[in-house]
Structure 1
Amino acid sequence: MTITKQAELDGLKEIGRIVANTMRAMAQSMEPGMTTRELDGIGKALLEREGAVSAPQSSYGFPGTTCISVNEEIAHGIPGERVIARGDLVNIDVSASKNGYFADTGATYRVAQVDPSLERLCRDGKRAMQIGIAKVGSDKPLAGIGKAIGRFASQRNYTLIRNLASHGVGRSLHEYPEEIATWPTRGDKRRINKGLVLTVEPFLSKGGVWAAEGEDGWTLYSEPSAPVVQYEHTVVATDRGAVVVTLPG
């Protein structure tokens, strides 16, 4: 989607606020002993209260309202009977629509105290997203996002999952540009047009390079097996850089 008028930006910001508030409330409610299904139920109630519709459900028939991925699960985890425990890494990904506008956000949370190396991975994962967002702006190269994130990851001896990309969003959950690499690439000459709506969502890892589908047909796992974190915002490209729309408020 390309934003061309204030009403479109307002609609996008509304659903952006809703998904951000939902994710934050889920994270604040999360505690050891809770199942991922119970956590998803909190998100479901909040979205319904705001008149928003789960995007993975409506777009792809996903068997849950939100995606909740624990430890070895790195994306698209199905909410169920898995019990959240102390020391877990839990990724919450909330995407939804309202009045024809879609927004997408995600973050990895630590349950109680975790290993210091995982604390650092989470901190650097959020920083990697921020570095990518800083490369968003009118007429900037799309490949600049992955180039900057890749440099950051390499300097700190991390890897990036190379088949889970950022994407266009706005009028549907996934739209043009369908795949925006958050790792270094060659040959992508596309540029970011003014008003373009997209996600920035690198998957930073301590050794993983690929996302492999599990037996349930949804949940993704790191290959080789390694800790992975993901942080994601929906942003709009402007002449002054990126405007983040998935902010709580």
Structure 2
Amino acid sequence: MNYKTEEEVALIGESAMIVSKTLAAIASILKPGLSTLDLDVYANTFIRDHGAIPSFHQYNGFPYHICTSVNDVVVHGLPNKTSLKDGDLVSVDVGAYKNGYHGDQAYTFVLGDTSSEILQLVKTTKESLSKGIEKAIHGNRIGDIGHAIQSHVEQFNYGVVKELVGHGLGKDLHETPPEIPNYGRPGQGKILKENLVIAIEPMINLGTPHIYTADDKWTIRTADGQPSVHFEQDVCVKKGAALILTDFGIIEKAEKENHNLKI
């Protein structure tokens, strides 16, 4: 396990805040008619204007700067020229690298009108992330985080994606150990200690938990074509309560001010 100094936590926090600001900026412009490629170009410029570089660009060969996952795409969606339309679920995953450290955050937006069923999936997935973060404290175990997420979403019969997990974060975008599954048993798994920095990221499907990778070798979709939702925050394990390094508040503010988005 890669424990950080307070100075390192602060540097990761700087990169994490750039990511949150990028997502807030995206939230302010998102509307039908834009393409996910438009968002990619915008995010690349925004991140670089803030003195960082996009973490995802050429990471394991990834050709774009952010991941844009629409509707039944769980994660790793490739930005493209297709226009977004009313009713789309748009998950945006952003990474930023500055001063030798990464920040990494994802947020799912609802573009225009959609069903109450979809809104409930978004709300519940976001709540499950908060439940997981509550367990990211010194002395708990990794299974406590996963169990908190799983038990919250499975009461609605949603599918918890098990092949994809959260991760450690720092000088590398994905530091393992630890892996942070979105399922588990309380009191099981590696013990959490102070100043471990992790990205917790529930990926929850409306239907089956099963997924597959598309022919492009990147895009991961739900096996049944039903929608999926993804939220992610960076947190530092502390005694009593986790220190959240990313900021949903500024994203939510921009989301509320954009009449094209449904909360």
When normalised by structure 2's length, the TM-score is: 0.90
Kept in 1, the 8 Å contact 2:137–2:241? The answer is yes
1:93-108 to structure 2, matched below 5 A, reads 93-108=93-108
Tell me which residue corresponds to 1:246.
246
Partner of 2:11: 11
Preserved contact between residue 9 and residue 197 of structure 2 (Cα < 8 Å): no
8 Å CA contact 2:137, 2:238 repeated in 1: yes
CA contact (8 A) 1:104 1:234 kept: yes
User: For the residues of structure 1 that align with 2:28 and 2:18, how far apart are their CA atoms?
Assistant: 15
Letter of the structure 1 residue corresponding to residue 156 of structure 2: R
Distance in structure 2 (CA, Å) of the matches to 1:10 and 1:179: 22
Superposition pairs for residues 72-151 of structure 1, below 5 Å? 72-151=72-151
1:31 aligns with 2:31: yes
- Equivalent positions of 1:44-59 (< 5 A) are 44-59=44-59
SS in 2 for 1:68: strand
Write the deviation string for residues 187-209 of structure 1: whole angstroms up to 9, x where unpaired: 95311121000011111221131
Task: Give the deviation of 1:113 after TM superposition.
Answer: 1.2
User: Match of 2:254?
Assistant: none
Shift of 1:62: 1.1
Alpha-carbon distance between aligned partners in 2 of 1:182 and 1:171, rounded to the nearest angstrom: 23
Residue number in structure 2 paired with 1:224: 224
Work out the CA distance in 2 between the residues paired with 1:93 and 1:211: 18
2:235 alignment counterpart? 235
| Superposed CA offset, 1:147-195 (max 9, x none) | 1111112222222111111111111110122421111259953111210
Partner of 1:2: 3
Opposite residue 12 of structure 1, the aligned amino acid is I
Aligned to 1:199: 199
* Structure 2 residue 64 is matched with structure 1 residue 64: yes
Query: 1:167 is matched with which residue?
Result: 167
Question: Aligned partners of 1:185, 1:139: CA distance in 2, in Å?
Answer: 15
Partner of 1:179: 179
Between the aligned partners of 1:73 and 1:179, the Cα distance in structure 2 is 22
How many pairs does the alignment contain? Answer: 248
Does the CA-based 8 Å contact 2:144-2:188 persist in structure 1? no
Quickly say closer, same or farther: Cα 1:186–1:139, change in 2 above 3 A.
Answer: closer
Which residue in the other structure is 2:261 paired with?
none
Conservation of the 8 A alpha-carbon contact between 1:209 and 1:224:
no
Unpaired segments ≥5 residues, structure 2? 251-263
The farther-off stretch of 224-233 and 81-90 is 224-233
Are the aligned partners of 1:208 and 1:227 in contact in 2 as well (CA < 8 Å)? no
Contact preservation (8 Å) 1:69, 1:76: yes
Mapped to 1, the partners of 2:186 and 2:213 lie a distance apart of: 26
Aligned partner of residue 93 in structure 1, secondary structure: strand
Distance 1:175 1:152 in 2: 26
Equivalent residue, structure 2, for 1:214: 214
The ranges of structure 1 where at least 4 consecutive aligned residues each deviate by more than 6 angstroms after the TM superposition are: none
Distance in 1 between residues matched to 2:189 and 2:38, nearest whole Å = 44
